[in-house]
Structure formats: C-alpha cells, structure tokens
Structure 1
Amino acid sequence: MPDRQRRRYAPRLPREQRQQQLLDAAMTVLADCPLQELSMEAVAEAGGVGKPVLYTAFDTRAELVAALLTREHQRGLEQVRAAMSTDPSAGDPNRVYPAAMSAFLRCALENPTRWRLILTAPDSVPREYRAALRSARSEVVTQAEQLAKAGTATDPRLAQLDPALLGHTMLSFAEMLGRLAINDATPYPRERLEQFAMVAMTMFAGAG
C-alpha cells in the first residue's frame, strides 16, 4: 500500500486562544519578511496547523493582519507609557528625556518586529490602524509636551522654545532613532544611539 501523506491535525483550542497562537506565528514569520509578503500559508506553517484550521480563526488575510496590527500596536503603546516618566517635572529634564529615550530603544530592540510594524507601517495597512497610530502618537506627543514644559520651567535656556513644537521634535527624534535601532542595528547599536541622544539633548538645551 502506498504511503499517504499524513495530514496535520492541531489540537482543538477556543477560537480566541487559537487566534492568539496564530498571531504569535505571524510575528515569527514577519521576523524574516515585510508585512506585504505575509501569507496565510506561511502563518499556518509557523503555527503548526493546516490552512483549514487557520481559516476557522481568521476568515481572511485582511482580518488576520488587522488583528495583528491592533494587538501589537496596543502592546507597543503600553511599552511606551511604561517607559515615559509619569511625573515629567521630577528631575533634570536633560536627564529625564535621555532616560526615556534609552527605555524606548530598549523596548524597540526587545521586539524589533513589533516596532517595525509601528514605525514603518506600509501604505497598505487598514485605515482604522492608521487612525489608531495617529491617536496614539497624539497621546505620546502630549506627554512629551509636558516634559518639554517641565524643562522650560526648570531650565531658562529652554524658555524661548515653544513646548508643543519641542514635544513634536522630541518624539520625531525618538522615532528616528528607533527606526535606526531596528533596521540598522549593526552600524547603529543601542549604546551609540543612547550616547547621541544624551549629547544632542545637552547641546540643544545649551543652544538657548
């Protein structure tokens, strides 16, 4: 009797648990390919299930991608909230901001796949996800502005700077360093980026 190819059977799981398992599998796949190239076949393979099982969890690739982006964005936002000072008026702003930058870079390097989705989202991502990114960025800008205001209150060299624009500048600077950290880690290791952030902040304050 000819050998038959064995079919892959996955143990039954509640749908929500299966979804999380497959989203984890998708993140594994995305470690080696861009979001645009993510396929249902690759996710099923990484998750150790057949495509029929995958399609019981997500009806379409678009549904899987939307769920993945939503989950990773929320987790990334939680990381940023934890990294930023809850009391921006506490301590020297020239030290608080580099400390927050260091924490952010650590978060990005701990999960570069997640932060590629957040910092380098392709044009093809769902409109709702782009709206969520804008909303989250606005929240972080507000925190950065509070830090900037604390800086202008304690350091007269910063008093002439618009705190709202300074907040935007600080966040854009952090995003730029984050992209370098996750995309060009060899020439731009974390220590190099941290040192640059600390020196740049000191020079920036001294320019006032």
Structure 2
Amino acid sequence: MELPNVKQAPETERRTATMAERRNRAYAPRMAPEQRREQLLDAVLRVIVEQGVHKVSIDTVAKEADVSRPVVYGLFDDSDQLLRASLDREETAALAQMAEVVPLAAAGDPVAATSESLEYFLAAVQAAPDRWRAIFLIADASTPTFRGRLERGRQAFIAALATFVRESCPPERLPTLDVELTARTLYALFWEAGRLVLADPEAFPPQRIRAYADTLIPALPAFHDRKTP
C-alpha cells in the first residue's frame, strides 16, 4: 500500500518546485510604475535588436526583463500595446536627436556645418546604439505600419536639410539647383554612415567617415566653389 506514495513523491517535488519558481518570479524587485515601465521598454528594445520585431511578446519581454508575466500585464494589456509604447518612446527620442544635428545656415560655412552635423549624428547613434539598431532594422521590415512611423521622421529630416541647402546656397545658383535631390543626398550620407558606424565600427570609424565627407560635401553643386564669408 505504500508503493503509490513512493511513485507520487517525485511528482509532488516537481509541482512544489514549479510553484516555488512561479512565486519567486512573481515578486520581482519593487519599482515605481514609471521605473518598471522604462525597464520593460528597455527589454522590448533588446528583443527587437537581438531577435527581431516579430519576436516581441509578453513572454519574451518578461524573460528579457527577468520578471513574470503578471508584472508585464500590470502595465500593458498585450504585446501590441507593449510594442507601440516602445516605438513611441524610441521615435520621440530619435526625432529629438535628429533635430539637434540638423546643420544651420547661420553657421556661416555650410560645408563645415554639414560635416560637423554628420559627426554629431554619428555620436548620437553611438550614444544610443540599441535605439538606432532597432530603427535600421525597422527600416528594412516588411510591415507597413513600422515603416510608416519611420517615414515621418525621415521626411522631416529631409525637409530640414532642404531648408538648410536652400538658405546656404548662393541666390544666383538657386534657379538651377535641385534642392530636394541635394537634401536627399545629404540624408543618404547621414543614414548610411549611421548604419556603418554601428555595423562595422572598426572598418568605418567616425574619423574615416568625416574625412570622406570633407571631400564629398564641397563637390555638391550647392556648395561647390562657395566662398566662405
């Protein structure tokens, strides 16, 4: 009559261990709601960078943040809300960084201003590598919703560059200058440089990119043979 008890003991131990694990995971270190929210959004960003946007879920984020599912559900209803919140945060931060690096015509020398702005942009990318890795990944994503979010920021940056080109170009050249294509050329330089400095920093350090930009930018029609005041 004791044999059933012997057989049940290992199963009882497994159930007890599982319940203990669940109890331990359910009580993550206490944090203020806003602090916990930022921790979870940081985890979302890491999941995007390391596994891809399609891997963002309550389970993967909980595991990445080392908390239980109830902790995540305490702040977010589902994985869609979690992903949207992460994208909102990173989009806002990226747009703020980009706004700070737009060159200004008032600087006097547009060539130097553009090269310095490129250098500032690369520094911003390196200061928040996960944010920009995620942005570059989303740019290549097949989901229109994600690309649409990125497109708004891209168009705003191109528009700011177009304003800079228009204000920096000598008035006599404006009638024959393609301002939009010049702005898009500068944008392509910034964008690809940002990719390279993250993807292969040893082969493409900021110094190498800046040196190349110093030869490329003066050759653009908007700046070619321009005399610095």
* TM norm. shorter chain > 0.5: yes
What are structure 2's unaligned runs of at least 5 residues?
Answer: 1-11
Partner residue in 2 for 1:112: 129
Higher helix share: 2
Structure 1 length normalisation: TM-score?
A: 0.83
Partner residue in 2 for 1:40: 58
Partner residue in 2 for 1:153: 170
Q: CA deviation at 1:15?
A: 4.4
Deviations 1:99-135 (A, max 9, x none): 11111111111112111222331435562x5433222
Q: Which of 192, 201, 205 is residue 217 of structure 2 equivalent to? A: 201
Output the CA distance in 2 between the equivalents of 1:50 and 1:113.
24
Comparing 92-101 with 161-170, greater Cα deviation is found at 161-170
- Paired amino acid for 2:38: Q
Two-structure CA RMSD over aligned residues (Å): 2.8
1:177 aligns with 2:177: no
Q: CA deviation at 1:84?
A: 2.0
- Paired amino acid for 1:63: Q
Partner residue in 2 for 1:164: 180
Count of residues in correspondence between the two structures: 205
Deviations 1:114-165 (A, max 9, x none): 11222331435562x54332222222112101211133128x7787422222
Output the CA distance in 2 between the equivalents of 1:183 and 1:52.
36
Indicate if the aligned counterparts of 1:66 and 1:126 stay in contact, CA closer than 8 A: no
**Which ranges of 4 or more aligned residues in structure 1 deviate by more than 6 Å?**
156-159
Comparing 118-127 with 175-184, greater Cα deviation is found at 118-127
SS of the residue aligned with 1:134? helix
Q: Which of 31, 52, 62 is residue 70 of structure 2 equivalent to? A: 52
What are structure 1's unaligned runs of at least 5 residues?
Answer: none
Larger relative contact order (CA 8 Å, sep ≥ 6): 1
- Paired amino acid for 1:189: P
Partner residue in 2 for 1:102: 119
Change (3 A) 1:33 1:69: same
- Paired amino acid for 1:105: L
Partner residue in 1 for 2:9: none
Output the CA distance in 2 between the equivalents of 1:189 and 1:90.
25
- Paired amino acid for 1:180: L
Output the CA distance in 2 between the equivalents of 1:158 and 1:102.
27
